[in-house]
Each structure stands twice: as structure tokens, then as C-alpha cells.
Amino acid sequence: MSTATAVKVRGVRLRRTVAADLSAVDELCAQVRRLMTENDLGAHAFAIQLLLHEALANAVVHGSEGMAEGRVRCEFRAGRRWIVIEVADDGPGFDWRRASAAPPEGAATNGRGLPIYALFADRVEFNERGNRVVLRRRVDR
């Protein structure tokens, strides 16, 4: 079950708390896709969908691992200058200071989440614990 608050305050905003489940991730990404289309943000659709999928999947797969009823909180907002994605989970976080934003060398099967953030977001910020990420992308990029 998800609780939802959608509020328009000086721009576009969607705030959701969803179960830590990958099907909920797809549903939420689809909602954001529609919101962006309705608000003429289609030029950023690919980048935002990718950033959103990455951040939410990380929160579900890594941030909520082992939790019987994990919850993931997401806020999407867009103003005149910035599109912002915030995703948080209740997990232990990770040591983001030691993670690399460069694509892995060789045929490694993981390690591309942070490089994707770096490629499509203009600013990437983690909280101290590493269980909350804020991704910002310029509208005029």
C-alpha cells in the first residue's frame, strides 16, 4: 500500500512513500513520466527516468534488504531552474565517499549506478549515512 501526496507549489511536485518493491518503482517512474509530459519537461525524460530508476532500485535492493516492510520515500520536483529527485530509505546506508563515479573497467557486471548519476545529474548529494540521495539536473542543460 502506498501513501501519496501530490502538491503543486510554485512548480511541479510529486511526493510518494512506497513499499520497497521493484514493481512499485516502475509504477512511480511511470507517474513521474506522465507528470513531466504534462508539464513540458519531455526533453529531460530519458535522463530523469534513468536517474529515478537508479535511485529507487538502489533504495529497494540495497537500502531495504532484509526488511520485512521496507519503505522508500521519493520526491520529484521541477521549477524554472532545476529538476530535483530525492530518494531515501531506512537502511544502513553506504560509504559513498569511497565509491567511484567512473564507469568500471573491464567487463564488471556492477558499479555503474554512481556513474549514471554523474552522467545525468548536475549535482549529486548524499546524506552523512548514505541512505538519502538528492539528484539535481538543470532545466536549461
Partner 1 sequence: MVTSETQVGAAVLKVDGDLTAAAAPRVRAQMREAMASGTKALVVDLSGTEIVDSAGIGLLIAAHNSLSRAGGSLEVVGLSKDLADLFRSMRLDRHFTLQTR
Interface with partner 1 (CB under 8 A):
22-23, 25-26, 46, 49-50, 53-54, 57, 60-61, 103, 105, 107-110, 112-113, 115-116, 119
- Distance (Å, rounded) from C-alpha 127 to C-alpha 129? 6
| Least distance from partner 1 to the Cβ atom of residue 141, Å | 14
Buried b (16+ CB within 10 A) or exposed e, 52-86: bbbbbbbbbebbbeeeeebbbebbbbbeeebbbbb
| Least distance from partner 1 to the Cβ atom of residue 41, Å | 15
* CB of 7 or CB of 107, closer to partner 1: 107
Instruction: Find out whether 117 and 54 touch, Cβ atoms under 8 Å.
Output: yes
* CB of 11 or CB of 130, closer to partner 1: 130
- Distance (Å, rounded) from C-alpha 87 to C-alpha 126? 10
| Least distance from partner 1 to the Cβ atom of residue 105, Å | 8
* CB of 8 or CB of 27, closer to partner 1: 27
